[in-house]
Amino acid sequence: MNYDIKLDRLISASCGAAFILFVESEYAAWKLIKNKKSIFFFVCQLAIVSSSLETIFTALLYFIPNLELLPMLLTITLGKFIMIVSYPTMILLRLKILSGNISIGLISICIIQGVLWTVLDYFWEKYYITYDIYFIYTYEKIVQPIETISLMVQNVVINIFFIILAIKIFENHIHIKVVIIVNIIIIILECIVVIIEFIFMSIWTIYSVSYQIKIRLEILILVYIVESTHSIVTAIDNLSLNNY
């Protein structure tokens, strides 16, 4: 079996996994959040949908290269921007649900990161338009490693803060070990994705599918906390931009 066939099957399997994760995450989000107008529900939907669409469009670009290239590249870039902004925003809002006080400045950092890496995707887009090896070399050797590590550090730090807050707030109310274990799994997944991206720079769908797995685990944590202590339900439903 040659490399191209293996890659085809890997991307196809990733798309299948992405669809299953999308359905599960949507079901869990709609079941968990009663107030569908809350900012948390909106950001959660952005994270779920953008990561799913980013997987689909990158797979289409690989399997159907004759598609209109520029619209596809712009769509993928937009999806990536929404994905890398909405996921950390969602887990920051999850922190706000627990602590009641998260600075809008922290969310601004996530947005700035999203804008920065979206702009630097110019090198990736330029390569697929011109096939100039300079652009893909710059992207894979400089931009992508720094981007991957930067986003990983950001998300790991947020999850560590969540673990600390969860221990402080829920230690006497729920089996906190479950929350800690799931968050550790998310942190490990962040590290695994970094390793995979450094080894296989061209496996695009790994990036977006990993986001879907993390989103599903984040929702799982909230579902567990809600089922254990219903006091958090009101905090989730009432979370709106007015809180800032």
Q: Over the stretch 124-147, which tens digit does the pLDDT of each residue have?
A: 888 878 888 888 888 888 888 888
Report whether 67 contacts 134 (CB < 8 A). Answer: no
The two tokens of residue 114 are 């999203």
In the chain, which stretches have pLDDT less than 70?
A: 1-8, 10, 65-68, 100-103, 171-174, 200-205, 227-244
Alpha helices in the chain (DSSP H): 3-32, 39-63, 69-99, 104-120, 122-130, 133-138, 144-170, 176-199, 204-228, 231-238
The two tokens of residue 48 are 């779920």
pLDDT at 235: 65
Q: Does domain 3-243 have CATH number 1.20.1070?
A: yes
pLDDT at 116: 92
How many residues are recorded in the chain?
244
pLDDT at 28: 85
